[in-house]
Amino acid sequence: MPNAANRGFIFDGSEYSKINPRIISAILNFQDTTRLSGILRKKEWVLDYSVDDCGLCRPGHCRKWLPRTSGIAHLYAPGTPYREDTRGLDVPIESRYIIFSGGELAVLDKFTGKRDRFAIFHDPENLLGDLLYNIASSKPGTERSFWETQSIFYSIIELLHKNTAKMTDRENSWAISSDKVQTEDELFIEKVESFMRKKLSEYVELEDIASFLNVSPSTLSHKYRKLTGRSPLDSLLNMRINEAKTLLLRGDKLKTIAEKTGFYDEFHFSKTFRKRTGLPPRKFLRNSTV
């Protein structure tokens, strides 16, 4: 990193060396010269944040130069080579960066991938930028200050995991938002159950759900059961029964309810309802209206 007018800290005490993930240094960088850097490569993780327009960078084995515009952060896995080009920019140029260990233990490699080993974060609300400012502005020197700094560092990790979404139109790029972003597992469950809710009146097989998600039936069944503790078709049946209860209380006839909830006929519906709830539909209705 350029080192013109920096403010920040470096934790070099061996007493913290066994802590992972661990913040090592945090810098507020004010660069007063412009240049094309040589190849930069750190043995630790680097998270570099552009406050101003910081020119260009060329990370990893990328063939093209990428913009380091305001509000963009670049995450580099250990050993990832990169170059920076600030030529032609107005100075001083402000950026912020942290160097840390244990990124793989914090599962940050899910962002960088195994091949490219870098990721780009777009931070339009300055959420990451503020945390990086706070961490670099802290004044270490005591054990308490180390843990306070670590706390901010953990907040950065949490932000990246909970408030980022993959930008499908850009490779290696993620968007940061103040709205909590659903995890991949949460999105998977939502997609499965949203599909099933729309198909309550239809006959649905496991293959239909799997085809909608573009996965194999075995993958669907295994993943859904692992995340929810039940099979997809069991959840679908629960949805049918719950909808049937609502329709019963509304006064719909058994034949109509059977049609709306995907049963062959009213006899199939009544048999399944009793097996699932312990009561035939009409007795359930009487008990519910007493």
Q: Which range (5-19, 56-70, 105-119, 247-261) has the least confidence?
A: 5-19
φ, ψ at 85 (rounded to 5°): -125, 110
Q: What predicted TM-score, i.e. pTM, was given to this entire model?
A: 0.62
**Helices within the chain (DSSP H only):** 109-112, 127-137, 143-162, 184-198, 206-213, 217-228, 232-250, 254-260, 266-277, 281-289
Pair 38, 110 in one domain: yes
The answer to whether residue 32 is domain-embedded is yes
User: Is the Cβ–Cβ distance between 100 and 48 less than 8 Å?
Assistant: no
Q: Are residues 55 and 190 in the same domain?
A: no
Average pLDDT, integer, range 211-223: 94
Last residue of a domain, one of 176, 207, 224: 176
* Same-domain pairing of 115 and 217: no
Selection from 184, 191, 190, 185 nearest residue 213 by Cα: 191
Over residues 244-250, the mean pLDDT reads 91
* pLDDT value of residue 12: 67
Boundaries of domain holding 272: 184-289
Residues 128 and 199 in one domain: no
pLDDT for the residue numbered 4 = 46
- Provide the pLDDT for residue 179: 78
Same-domain pairing of 69 and 148: yes
Adjacency order of strands within the sheet including 82-85 = 66-67, 56-59, 82-85
Indicate which CATH number applies to the domain containing 53: 2.60.120.280
DSSP state of 139: -
The pLDDT assigned to 114 comes to 80
* Average pLDDT taken over every residue of the chain: 89
Is 157 in the same domain as 37? yes
Q: What is the mean pLDDT of residues 126-149?
A: 82
Rounded to an integer, the average pLDDT of 138-166 is 83
Give how many domains the chain has, as a whole number. 2
- 68 neighbors 56 (Cβ within 8 angstroms): yes
Q: Is 130 helix (H, G, I), strand (E, B) or coil?
A: helix
- Which residue, chain included where needed, has tokens 């075995």? 218
pLDDT of residue 100: 96
Query: Are 275 and 212 in the same domain?
Result: yes
CATH number at residue 264: 1.10.10.60
Please check whether residue 1 lies inside any domain of the structure: no
Angstrom CA distances, 134 to 97, 101, 147, stand at 12, 19, 14
3-state secondary structure of 28: strand
Which residues, other chains included, contact 239 with Cβ-Cβ below 8 Å and sequence gap of 6+? Answer: 193, 196, 197, 200
- Sequence-ordered list of residues with C-beta below 8 angstroms from that of 203, at least 6 positions apart, any chain: 262
Work out the average pLDDT over 263-287.
93
pLDDT of residue 2: 40
Residues 190 and 79 in one domain: no
Question: Residues 18, 136: one domain?
Answer: yes
**pLDDT single digits (tens) 56-92:** 999 988 888 999 999 999 999 999 999 999 999 988 9
**Is 2 domain-assigned?**
no
Where is pLDDT greater, at 16 or 198?
198
DSSP for 247-271 reads HHHHT--HHHHHHHTT-SSHHHHHH
